[in-house]
Structure formats: C-alpha cells, structure tokens
Structure 1
Amino acid sequence: MIYLVFFLAAVVVVTAAIYLNQFGDVISKKSALSGAVVGTFLIAGATSLPELTTSLTAVYIDNPDIAVGNMLGSNVFNLLILGIVDLIYRKRRLFQKVDHSANIPSAIIGLLFLAILILTLFLPGSIQFFGVGIEMILIFLLYIGAMKFVSSSGSDESEGQVKTYSLRTAVVGFIIAAIVVFGSGSVLSIAGDRLAEATGMNASFVGSFLIAASTSLPELVTVLAAFKLANYNMAIGSILGSNLFNIQLLVLTDVLYREGPILAAVGSSQIFVALLGLFMTIVVIYLLVRPNKRVTNQWRYAAPSLLMTVLYFVVSFVLY
C-alpha cells in the first residue's frame, strides 16, 4: 500500500509541477512584471517547489536525511538528465552549441557550494549561529554576491506553450497548482519516510534517489521542451540554475530545522551523494570548457556523459 501511495504522490507532484512551470511562464510574459529576472525567479521557484515542500515536510516529521538527501539528490538527478539527453542526442553535440560564458559561472558556483557542503559533512562538528550552520550562511552570502556574475540570458527564449492561457487563468492556475504541489509533496515525503521504515532501506537512499528523482522530473520536461525548440542554452542553463536554487532551499531547510545544523544530523551516506554531485559538476564544466571542435567519433564525444550516467547508477546501487 505504501508503494502505491508513494507512486501516486510522485505522479501528482510531477503533473502539478509541469502546470506550475507553464502557468509561471505565462505570468512572466503577460504581466506588467515581465522580464528576465522575474521570469527566472518565478520559473525557478515553480520547478523547485516540489523539492521545497518535500524537504520541509521531512523536517516537520524529523527526518533530516530525507530533507537533505532530497535536495542533494535532486541536483545529482538534474545533472544525470543532462548526461542522458547528451547521450541520446549525441549527434547534435549539445555542449558544443551553447554559450559557454553564460553557463560556466553557474557551474563553478555550484561546484563551490558542493565543496563547502562536503567539507562540512566531513568535519565532526559545525559552527552555528542560532541553530543555523555557518556553512549555510556562507553559501547564502556567496549566492547573493555571485548572482550579478551569472547571466540570465535564455530565460525568456521559450516560445512554445505561452499563448494558450489568459493572465487571470494563469494566476489562478498557478495558485491551485502550487497548493496541489504543496499537499502532494508533503505526502511524498511522509510516504518516503514510511517506505524507509517498512523496507529497511537507507533513508539517505530514499531521499537522495527515489524522492529526488520524483521531484526532479519537471526539470526533465523543461530540458526536453528546450531541446525540442533547439534551445540548447536554455536546456543547460535551466539545470544549472535549478541546482543553485535548490542549494538555497537547503539553506532555508537548515533555518527551519530547530535541532541544530541540519548537516550535523544526517547520515554518512550523504557524503557520497555530495561527492557524486561534485564529480558530475566537474564533468559538466569539462564539457563546457572543452575546445569547441568536431569530434569525429560520436561516442568519443559522449564519453564524459556516459561516465556520469554509469557512475550515478553505481552509487545508487551501492547506497541501496
């Protein structure tokens, strides 16, 4: 029964989050508040709302492993999306057709955030201020300072599904979809917690892979839609931007977790998830800085993405 509840909650989360993305896109283009900045925050908030509600519910039921694992696992799954899409469409040479200067800063900032989190997870204790780890405060300040260096170009380039709703319909739809995501995301987190107890599975695995994959499927839809429009810059930029946003949601999760720094309360398995994210981010940076020239063999071009994909499933199996 718990498997069915988990599956149904995941389906509802994904469906509602897709509508959130569509309605948010309409609002950003048709309202007086239109613009790159508003669109970026609105869409980023829409696609990341499942991760937020799931992690906050995990905090409420006192399961920090699912709360942290959901955020770190979602970032890893997002990078897996890039790897698999690059593998399937290897003839298109995804990473050779993007604006490298616009995406490299986001990837490097994400790498720095993960390095800070990994260092904190390795340390026996964490300096805290009012129950919040100093690493989270540092990440938040770095995020604020780094945003002016991150290009937001490409956030207005989607032309697909925008003209079908009126502004009023989009606003009402966005609110309803947000409420549905909040409710179903909470059910998903509680079901994941019960699933870990009933099956004996590691709570870190449940949060980092099962729940994270479910809440990251809207990003997969976004990437595939961008690919369909041959908007490769948006495909990569949306993933890297979503990863940065998710780390900030982890900061919020730590603020709301009142038992001390949340990273001090999680299991050692989270280190492996964070290390996997670090390695996959390094591979993405390599793909972005690799000389933009034709590789005669398509599998040689796709080898880094294949490595990312294989490593993801190997780590998943080991943690399971």
Structure 2
Amino acid sequence: MVYVIFIAAVIVTVITAHKLSTYADAISRLSGMGALLIGTFLLAGATALPEITTSLTAVYLDNPDLAVGNILGSNHFNILILAVFDLVFRKRKMLSHLHKQQRYTALFGVFMTLIVTVALFTTIEIPFLNMGIDSLMIIALYLLSLWIIQRTPVSKEEKENSETPNEEEYTLKHAVIGFIITAIIIFIAGTALTLTGDEIAVITGLGSSFVGSFLIATSTSLPEAITVLTALRLNNENLAAASIFGSNLFNMIILCLCDLFYAGSILQSASMSHTMTAIFLVINSSLVCYAVFVNGKRRFYTLPSSFMLLFYLATMTWLYYF
C-alpha cells in the first residue's frame, strides 16, 4: 500500500506541476513582472513546496539524514534537469540565452553550497536563535539575491508580450487563483511523498541518506522537471532556468528552517556520507556557473552539461555503496 500511495503522489505532482508552470508563465506576462523575477522566486518557491513538507516532516520524525539528503539531492537533481534539457535541446543553446542577472543567482548557489559543505564538518551554533552561523549566512545571501533580482529591469521582449493580453488563455486573476490552488495540491502531495518515503527507507533497508538523496529528492523535484519542459515548450528559456536556480536557492532556505526546528545542528547530526554529496554539488553548481558565464562562445557547447550528468551519477553511486 505504501508504494501505491508513493506512486499516486508522484503522478499528482507531475500533473499539477505542468499547470503550475503554465500559470506562472501567464503571470510573468500579464503582470509585467518578467520571467526572471517570477521564475526565481514565485515559481521556484511553489515548486519547492514538496521539499518544505518533506524536510520539515523528516525533522518531526527525527530523521536528519532524510531532511539533509532531500535538500542536497533535490539541488543535485535540479542541476541534472538543467543539464539533460540543455543536451536534448542543444541546438537552442538554452544556457546561452539567459538574462545576465541569472549569473548572480547561479553564483549564489555555489556560495551557499560551499557554506553547507563546511558546516557538515564544523559550525558555530547560536543558542538563543537555535541556528548555526551557516544558516544566517545562507539567509543573508538569499536576501541579497532577492535584492539583485528586484533591481533587474524587465526585458524589451517581455514588455512587448505583456502588451498583448488578448492573446492570453487566462486573465491575471484566473492565473493567480490557479497558481495558488495548484501550489496547495503540490504541498499536500509533498507530505505524502515524505511519509511514504520514510517507510520505504525502513522496508528496503537502503538507508535514509540514499532514499532522501535519490528516491525522495527525485520525486519532490519532479515539479521542477515538468516546469522546465513546459517553459521550454513556451519558448521561455529564462523562466526555465530561473525556476531551477531559484529552487536551489530556496531549498537552502528550507535547510535553514530545518536547522531552526531541529534540536541542535541538523548538519552536524547528519551522516558524513553527505559530505561527498555536497562536494559533488559544489562541482556541478560551478559547472552551471561556467556554462552561464561563457554563454555560447565555448567550442564544445555540451561539455559542461555532460560533466554535470557524470557527476550526478557518481554522487548516487557513492551514496548507494557508502
């Protein structure tokens, strides 16, 4: 029965995520806010809802490995999503058509992951806040990224699209209401994924680190995968990439929330097997930065995405055997 519920939750997540990204694309045009802001914060926050329920439920179950593994695994899988679609749609050179401000969000992802990697070895706890200094640094970087994105002007192309509302399938009100409803459904599905995933870890004996970093992380990242695919079909590369970069930043904030509600440092309580996951994640995040910064000028365009795929496979192999 637990497997049936898990699969049902996955199916609901996939179907709902498609509608979520469609509503987000409509909101970005109808509101005039732009794909960068909508994708990095609104859409990224909504698609990260399963990670919120998953990680906080894992904290409630006193399972730090499941919580930490879910966040690191989700960020790994998000980068894999970007790499796979970049390889599949290589002729479009997706990563070479991004707004220059996305370089900063990609770079912030590297810095946040570096902080987490160091905190897995050692951190300074702040007793009255029940948080480590690493969590405060991550929150500060997230707020800085928010400030930078807010100062980014809407592109000329997006302004032109926002001036043609008669061609839209939805009104702004319809899109906002639909977005909220689908986000709530994803939130509920995420809770089901966590509870069943914890039981699967016990039944299979695979361990919380592997189940959290692979099975649950992959399942809770399905909204991001469907979001990217839908955005690319709508010829909105900026929305696709922004949802991935934004989700990875938002996931780090979720890790800070887990640290707040967990008794002690959640990173210090997690298994040391996560250190290799974090190190590989730093490498993959750096490869994404490289791909975005150099745009399409590199000779072998698909090389960074190919390496991202290889490092993801190496990470999952490490977790399975160690």
For Structure 1 versus Structure 2, the TM-score category normalised by the shorter chain is: 0.7 to 0.9
Kindly tell me: are residues 102 and 28 of structure 1, through their superposed partners in 2, closer, same or farther at Cα, counting changes over 3 Å? Answer: closer
Report what 1:261 is aligned to.
265
Contact 1:73 1:207 in 2 (8 A): yes
1:187 & 1:253 partners in 2: Cα distance? 18
Contact 1:114 1:277 in 2 (8 A): yes
Displacement after TM superposition at 1:59 (Å): 1.6
1:154 & 1:80 partners in 2: Cα distance? 28
Alignment size in residue pairs = 311
1:25 & 1:274 partners in 2: Cα distance? 32
Displacement after TM superposition at 1:274 (Å): 1.3
SS at match of 2:74: helix
Query: Structure 1 residues 141-150 or 56-65, which shifts more?
Result: 141-150
**CA deviation digits over 1:182-238, x for unaligned, max 9?**
322111101111111111112111111111111112212222223223333333232
Kindly tell me: are residues 179 and 237 of structure 1, through their superposed partners in 2, closer, same or farther at Cα, counting changes over 3 Å? Answer: closer
Match of residue 270, structure 1, among 245, 267, 274: 274
Kindly tell me: are residues 11 and 205 of structure 1, through their superposed partners in 2, closer, same or farther at Cα, counting changes over 3 Å? Answer: same
Displacement after TM superposition at 1:142 (Å): 2.4
Query: Residue 71 in 1 paired to residue 76 in 2?
Result: no
Q: Which amino acid aligns with 1:278?
A: V
SS at match of 2:168: coil
Match of residue 214, structure 1, among 214, 219, 226: 219
Q: In structure 2, list runs of 5 or more residues that go unmatched.
A: none
Q: TM-score, normalised by structure 1?
A: 0.85
Contact 2:25 2:231 in 1 (8 A): no
Displacement after TM superposition at 1:293 (Å): 2.9
Q: TM-score, normalised by structure 2?
A: 0.85
Report what 1:135 is aligned to.
134
Query: Residue 196 in 1 paired to residue 196 in 2?
Result: no
Contact 1:107 1:240 in 2 (8 A): yes
1:232 & 1:165 partners in 2: Cα distance? 21
Query: Structure 1 residues 215-224 or 147-156, which shifts more?
Result: 147-156
2:111 & 2:196 partners in 1: Cα distance? 33
Report what 1:110 is aligned to.
109
2:89 & 2:313 partners in 1: Cα distance? 20
Report what 1:237 is aligned to.
242
1:293 & 1:270 partners in 2: Cα distance? 35
Displacement after TM superposition at 1:166 (Å): 4.8
SS at match of 2:222: helix
SS at match of 1:301: coil
SS at match of 2:62: coil
2:113 & 2:56 partners in 1: Cα distance? 21
Displacement after TM superposition at 1:4 (Å): 2.4
Kindly tell me: are residues 113 and 57 of structure 1, through their superposed partners in 2, closer, same or farther at Cα, counting changes over 3 Å? Answer: same
Contact 1:28 1:42 in 2 (8 A): no
Kindly tell me: are residues 25 and 303 of structure 1, through their superposed partners in 2, closer, same or farther at Cα, counting changes over 3 Å? Answer: closer
1:226 & 1:178 partners in 2: Cα distance? 17
SS at match of 2:221: helix
> Once superposed, what is the RMSD of the aligned Cα atoms?
2.9
Q: Which amino acid aligns with 2:17?
A: A
Displacement after TM superposition at 1:118 (Å): 0.3
1:152 & 1:266 partners in 2: Cα distance? 38
Kindly tell me: are residues 27 and 67 of structure 1, through their superposed partners in 2, closer, same or farther at Cα, counting changes over 3 Å? Answer: same
Identity %: 43
Displacement after TM superposition at 1:268 (Å): 1.3
Report what 2:316 is aligned to.
316
Displacement after TM superposition at 1:58 (Å): 1.5
**CA deviation digits over 1:130-163, x for unaligned, max 9?**
321111012112222343334656799588xx93
2:296 & 2:29 partners in 1: Cα distance? 33
